Amino acid sequence: MKTNRRQLINVNKEFDEKYGVTGSDTRSEFNAKATAWYYGEILREKRKEMKITQQELSERTGLKRTYISRIERGETDMQLSSLIRISRALNLKFGLV
């Protein structure tokens, strides 16, 4: 009887092959997109938890609804001022380290 064995994948090796080595332009671009997606997820989940729409968040922050939508989908980098406005509207606190 044959046994199927899973090989452990070295994530760094996989990322190096797919997105380029750490420090390369392609890896930096991937990391920026991943970070934008991550923060967008946090903001979307908090907005939904508060049961407010993107339009309501737009009105609370003075930002366009379409911009908030792009942020939540991780399609754009947001300015620090936008992050602060959105965070305040969502009662989120953060610190810079």
Question: Domain 11-89 belongs to what architecture?
Answer: Orthogonal Bundle (1.10)
pLDDT tens for the 97 residues of the chain, in order? 555 556 656 788 888 899 999 999 999 999 999 999 999 999 999 999 999 999 999 999 999 999 999 999 999 988 999 999 999 999 998 777 7
| Residue spans per domain, the chain | 11-89
Do 65 and 54 meet the contact criterion of CB atoms below 8 Å apart? yes
Whole-prediction pTM value? 0.77
State residue 1's pLDDT score: 53
**Which pLDDT score is estimated for 37?**
95
Name, in order, each residue with C-beta under 8 angstroms of 72's C-beta and a sequence gap of 6 or more.
Answer: 40, 41, 43, 44, 47, 54
Question: How far apart are alpha carbons 20 and 26 in whole angstroms?
Answer: 6
Separation CA 11–CA 87 (nearest Å): 32
Question: What pLDDT sits at residue 32?
Answer: 92
Among 38, 35, 17, 14, CA closest to 26: 17
Give pLDDT, residue 8: 57
Cα atoms found within 13 Å of the Cα of residue 87, Cβ hemisphere only: 12
CA–CA dist 56, 47 (Å, integer): 10
pLDDT at 44 (0 to 100): 97
